[in-house]
Amino acid sequence: MKLVVVLVLLPLIVALNVTIPIYFPLPAPLRFLALRTSSLLEKDLKDNETKLKIIVPSCAEDIPDDGYWIKLGYAEVPSYYVDPFGRSITIFQTDSLIAHNTMPEFIRNILVDEVFHLNSSTGAMAMNKDRKMSVTWIILMDAGYWDVEFVSELMAPVLESLSRVVQLDIKFEVRYTADATEDLGEDPTTYVDWSHGQITQLIVLTREIYYPDELVLPRLGSTLVYTLEEPLGDQDMIQILEKVTGQLFRVLGSPMVGPQSVHYKLDRMVIDQFGRQTYN
């Protein structure tokens, strides 16, 4: 994803303007849709730190792999679809939209209000000026073995992606115990000291069934209890990291609404951190 970031210095705060390019391949007779949509976006977002820039490539093959792009479809009811694994946005036109010449307004509404939610905040955490944050993973286990090297290797691509928003330093605290669920008691949140001001994620590996098995504490951290029926294997570790990573995104303020694509979630976090919020 290519973001054009413009630094604006103001007293006591740092604000950043974010421009998200959206490619809209159209045949020549329909390129007026892109021009009118672009004009509407410029007008509606003139006071917004985040801009959506419509770009009409000469052909679909010219669209960068890391860019958002719009495809037009046809349906009985006005609707849209965002690829959950990518960045394509399919907008379905109808006879009524075409007849009333309101497709540009419909596209604008989909982009601003439904896809990127530029008129609302997702509640993302405010970052320090250096955008660095420490995360502690407490691994409490009465079963299995925590392979730090394997975990670090699997997490490397995630941390690289998140580096656009925040530089995370994950520290591991591995604690072996005879009975993890007994140590937790009835409330897993009481096991962790949340008052130190950094994100903590508690990961419990146990032979016992425990409820609640997942909790997310906004801006503080999360707890995950994973029941092992067999010795801890690579597939278990992958599933654990998928859950913990999902929790981490939510703790950092990843949107619970809108498309579920990881690309979109990261871009939304970029918008909230750089295009909307000021630093502590």
pLDDT in tens, the chain (280 residues): 444 433 333 333 334 467 888 899 898 889 999 999 999 999 988 877 778 888 888 766 666 766 788 999 998 888 888 876 677 889 999 999 999 999 999 999 988 887 877 776 555 554 554 567 889 999 999 988 888 898 988 888 778 777 766 788 899 999 999 999 999 988 888 899 888 778 999 999 998 888 888 888 877 899 999 998 888 888 888 889 888 888 888 787 665 555 555 666 666 666 665 544 433 3
Residue-wise DSSP of the chain: ---EEEEEEETTEEEEEEEEEEE----GGGHHHHHHHHHHHHHHTTTSSEEEEEE--SSGGGS-TTSEEEEEEE-SS-EEEE-TTSSEEEEEE-HHHHHTT-HHHHHHHIIIIIIS-TTS---PPPPPTT-EEEEEEEEEESSS---HHHHHHHHHHHHHHHTTT-EEEEEEEEEE-S-HHHHHTT-GGGGS--TTSSEEEEEEEESS--SS-EEEETTTEEEEEEE-SSS--HHHHHHHHHHHHHHHHHHHT--SSS---HHHHHHHHHHHHHTTPPP-
d(CA 176, CA 185): 16
pTM surpassing 0.75?
Answer: no
CA dihedral 151, 153, 159, 161 (to 10 degrees): -130
d(CA 277, CA 50): 11
Q: Please name every residue paired with 222 in a beta bridge, in sequence order, or none if there are none.
A: 201, 216
The whole-number pLDDT of residue 13 equals: 33
Query: Exposure pattern of 99-126 as b/e (b: 16+ CB <10 Å)?
Result: eeeebbebbbbbbbeebbbbeeebebbe
The domain locations on the chain are: 4-120, 132-266
The whole-number pLDDT of residue 24 equals: 92
Contacts of 271 (CB under 8 A, 6+ apart): 18, 20, 50, 116, 118
Q: Please name every residue paired with 14 in a beta bridge, in sequence order, or none if there are none.
A: 9
The whole-number pLDDT of residue 259 equals: 54
Domain topology for 4-120: Collagenase (Catalytic Domain) (3.40.390)
Residue-wise DSSP of 143-169: SS---HHHHHHHHHHHHHHHTTT-EEE
